[in-house]
Amino acid sequence: MAAPIAIHLEFGGGAELLFGSVKEHHVTLPNQSEPWDMKQLLVWIRGNMLKERPELFVQGDTVRPGILVLINDADWELMVGVLPECVLCVKD
Amino acid sequence: MCQVDEEYNGQLDHRVTPRVSKKCVKCKENTTVLIIRAGDAFCRGCFKEYFIHKFRAMLGKNRVIFPGEKVLLAVSGGPASSSMLSQVQEGLSRDAPKKLRFVPGIIYIDEGGASGQSMEERKRAVAQLESVFRATNYHYHIVHLEQVLSLPSSVLEAGSSATGKPPTGSSYKAAVDHLIPTRKNQNQHPDLSVENAQSHLSNLSMQEVQNGVTSPITPEHTQALKRLFASVRTPTAKEDLLHTLRQHLILHTARTQGYTKVMMGDSCSRLAIKLLSNISLGRGASLATDTGFSDPRHGDVVIVRPMRDYSSKEIAYYNRMFDIPSVFIPGLDSKAQDKASIQRLTESFVTKLQTDFPSTVSTIYRTSEKLHTACPPQNTNTQLSAKCLLCVCALDTKLEEFSAYQATLISEQLSQRRGPGPEFTPGTTAAPGSPPASSAGQGHSSGGGQSQGCETGDGGCCSSAKEPETVDLKSLLCYSCRLTIKDMTALDALPQYILSEAERRRSQMREEISEFLLDEEEDEAIPRVNGS
């Protein structure tokens, strides 16, 4: 059981063009039985936030090569496993 | 292992990702924030040190920037060039005796006219960047791409280098050492004198031209520029042309404002992509100058690339962590399809490969480091006309009768559709517009001699009046510039300086050839002698 999580997303380096040229987004992820992880978050972003050209942002399970993801200002590759419940940052 | 019946039971399916420790590999104390290359995890402080050190090491290893020189920083607003700007600021501000000493200036080229942005968007971007530049207190120039239409044709001439012979390592050391004793000798204010001199210099230059923005542009200029880019059919050629025009503008600004060096912010990833796409474009002969640290093709102005050791990931993280301001400005290839142009395709290829094989970019980079410019044999035949008109790289003027390039020209001629005269343009031939890259890449990138150009000209002259002009321009260009021009439908949309320089070189060539042609009067003299 996961309560709705409020997260703060930031897009930069051109990625914001796909989100209506808005760099900062505050969103609340809905209630869900399993805890949220990055894969689900990306699917959610693709379904709810992406305005155009989904293939430029998401490729299959993960982000398109070339897009860098920071979670709390730390490299995504450093983390393994489940998304922690806190502020999150997505940057190109 | 390599038997026919061997079965790999899914053991090779997933790549084993090495477990990354939580402590920084360098200081082994702090928690890590990012991973560079294969498995090196750094903490924030160590990463910053590493980043700054790389910049200074790059400049120190290649001793081309002399103390006191005026260096122009080409800033596009993107992450790499903004990072370069902050590194220069960082390097110039230190009090240590090892601080960088040169006088920087900034140039920004507003390409909104070519990429289809509206005037408000362009003004907004320029205003954002101006506030960044003002914070640095360096002299800056904002140049619009429309100004390329009014450049003088001297831009295309390679100037001679400032000193007679290329500066050697010993003269560099001497130049740096010279500064240090003068500081020691000053009894009262050792540090201030040098600082005063430098700030005085920069103040002077600020006062001379108060405003960094050059003359405002008119809508007609924007229209002419749009027409130029609309006449180019393929996005590949558009990007290539844009790159060439940008280089000309930067060079012109550097020359008129007295800068002897230009720093470009090409990162490692960007250069790896550029290397591969240049090979595909037919620029294999000038790979060393296009992707190397220093680019001496223009003679008096040397282009250096100090960011060429940084991957785009490192730059992006550094900018994010240390709040380096950068402005994203959409360009020609923003939101383009993966297969829109050769450059775009190469970029997506390299980035995709990089995710699975993290050493891709560094391998390509190391390969490019091994390329060196072979010094051409110094003979009297190397003159100005031996350089390509647009990209100023060396033209190979020696005729090679059986080269691969000759073969492609002949097959192009043979497969041209002989249509009615006025409608026939080189672009509508049945021959493939861009001959296979392999023939260009294999070293036979001879630009074709002058008589070669005339031969194809004669073949074409028969069919249309437009041909001679196209072909004559072609004979002044290197192989890849020829391909770019071939994709243009209206050659007269080219800026005036290119056309006038082409005309000048053609007449120069004609003068040289005319010595060898028989005069008509000599022919008439012969019957007279016989008759008398």
- Three-state secondary structure of A11-71: CCCCHHHHHCCCCEEEEEECCECCCCCHHHHHHHHHHHCCCCCHHHCEECCEECCCCEEEE
Q: Is the pLDDT of residue B401 over 80?
A: no
Residue B496's pLDDT band (cuts 50, 70, 90): confident
Instruction: Tell if the CB–CB gap between A74 and B34 is shorter than 8 Å.
Output: yes
Any CB–CB contact under 8 A between B32 and chain A? yes
A-chain residues within 8 Å CB-CB of B328? 12-14, 16
Instruction: Tell if the CB–CB gap between A17 and B354 is shorter than 8 Å.
Output: no
Burial class (CB in 10 A: 0-12, 13-18, 19+), B413: middle
Confirm if B233 and B491 have CB atoms less than 8 A apart. no
Confirm if A69 and A44 have CB atoms less than 8 A apart. no
* CA–CA min distance B327, chain A (Å): 8
pLDDT higher at B32 or B15: B32
Identify which of A53, A78, A91 has the shortest CB distance to residue B320: A91
Q: What's the token pair of residue B367?
A: 């390969």
Any CB–CB contact under 8 A between A26 and chain B? no
Chain A (32-51) residues lying within 8 Å, Cβ to Cβ, of chain B:
none
Any CB–CB contact under 8 A between A91 and chain B? yes
Sheet containing A74-75, strands listed edge to edge, beginning at the edge strand earlier in sequence: A74-75, A68-71, A89-91
B-chain residues within 8 Å CB-CB of A78? 20, 22, 32-35, 41
Identify which of A12, A16, A78 has the shortest CB distance to residue B41: A78
What span, in angstroms and rounded, lies between the C-alpha atoms of B292 and B374? 13
What residue type is assigned to position B71 of the chain? V
Site from B120, B320, B322, B357 to mutate, A interface, most A CB atoms within 10 angstroms: B320
Chain A (49-68) residues lying within 8 Å, Cβ to Cβ, of chain B:
53, 56, 65-66, 68
What span, in angstroms and rounded, lies between the C-alpha atoms of B330 and B308? 23
Any CB–CB contact under 8 A between B386 and chain A? no
* CA–CA min distance A74, chain B (Å): 5
Any CB–CB contact under 8 A between A75 and chain B? yes
C-beta contacts of B354-359 below 8 A and 24+ residues apart: B354/A65, B354/B269, B355/A65, B356/B15, B358/B37, B358/B38, B359/B37, B359/B38
Instruction: Tell if the CB–CB gap between B328 and A12 is shorter than 8 Å.
Output: yes
DSSP annotation of B475 reads T
B37-51 pLDDT, tens per residue?
767 788 888 888 899
Q: Is the pLDDT of residue B381 over 60?
A: no
Q: Is the pLDDT of residue B440 over 70?
A: no
Identify which of B313, B317, B335 has the shortest CB distance to residue A17: B335
Residue B201's pLDDT band (cuts 50, 70, 90): very low
Q: What's the whole-number average pLDDT of chain B?
A: 74
B-chain residues within 8 Å CB-CB of A75? 32-35, 317
Q: Is the pLDDT of residue B114 over 50?
A: yes
Instruction: Tell if the CB–CB gap between B34 and A92 is shorter than 8 Å.
Output: no
B103 bridge partner residues: B70
| Cα B394 to the center of its chain, rounded Å | 15
* CA–CA min distance B76, chain A (Å): 13
Identify which of A13, A68, A78 has the shortest CB distance to residue B20: A78
At B34, which helix (H) or strand (E)?
Answer: strand B34-36
Residue B55 vs residues B51, B305, B308, B309: alpha-carbon distances, Å: 7, 10, 9, 8
What span, in angstroms and rounded, lies between the C-alpha atoms of B206 and B106? 12
CB contact burial B323-359 (16+ within 10 A = b; e otherwise): ebebbbbbbbbeebeeebbbbbbbbbbbbbebeeebe
Tens-binned pLDDT, residue by residue, of chain A (92 aa): 456 778 888 888 888 888 888 888 888 888 777 777 788 888 888 888 888 888 888 888 888 888 888 887 778 777 765 454 444 444 44
Any CB–CB contact under 8 A between B34 and chain A? yes
Residue of B326, B428, B357 whose CA lies nearest to B86? B326
What residue type is assigned to position B10 of the chain? G
Q: Is the pLDDT of residue B119 over 60?
A: yes
B455-471 pLDDT, tens per residue?
444 443 444 444 445 55
* CA–CA min distance A66, chain B (Å): 6
The per-residue pLDDT for B31 is: 77
Residue B100 vs residues B87, B89, B166, B262, B426: alpha-carbon distances, Å: 10, 9, 21, 15, 52
What span, in angstroms and rounded, lies between the C-alpha atoms of B155 and B146? 16
* CA–CA min distance A36, chain B (Å): 22
Instruction: Tell if the CB–CB gap between B328 and A74 is shorter than 8 Å.
Output: no
Size of interface A-B (CB pairs under 8 A): 52
The per-residue pLDDT for A80 is: 61
Q: Tokens 């090979």 belong to which residue?
A: B279
Q: What's the token pair of residue B413?
A: 């001629």
Any CB–CB contact under 8 A between A4 and chain B? no
* CA–CA min distance B341, chain A (Å): 16
Instruction: Tell if the CB–CB gap between A73 and B316 is shorter than 8 Å.
Output: no
Q: How high is the ipTM of this complex?
A: 0.85
Residue B219's pLDDT band (cuts 50, 70, 90): confident
Pairing assessment for the beta strands B261-264 and B294-295 based on DSSP bridges: unpaired
Give the E-state strand segments of B347-453 in sequence order.
none
Instruction: Tell if the CB–CB gap between B355 and A74 is shorter than 8 Å.
Output: no
Any CB–CB contact under 8 A between B355 and chain A? yes
Enter the pTM of the model.
0.75
B246-280 pLDDT, tens per residue?
999 999 999 999 999 999 999 999 999 999 999 99
Q: Is the pLDDT of residue B445 over 80?
A: no
Residue B310 vs residues A74, B16, B128, B344: alpha-carbon distances, Å: 19, 26, 25, 20
Site from B15, B24, B34, B346 to mutate, A interface, most A CB atoms within 10 angstroms: B34
A-chain residues within 8 Å CB-CB of B351? 65-66
Residue B21's pLDDT band (cuts 50, 70, 90): low
Domains and CATH numbers, chain A: 5-82 (3.10.20.30)
The per-residue pLDDT for B80 is: 92
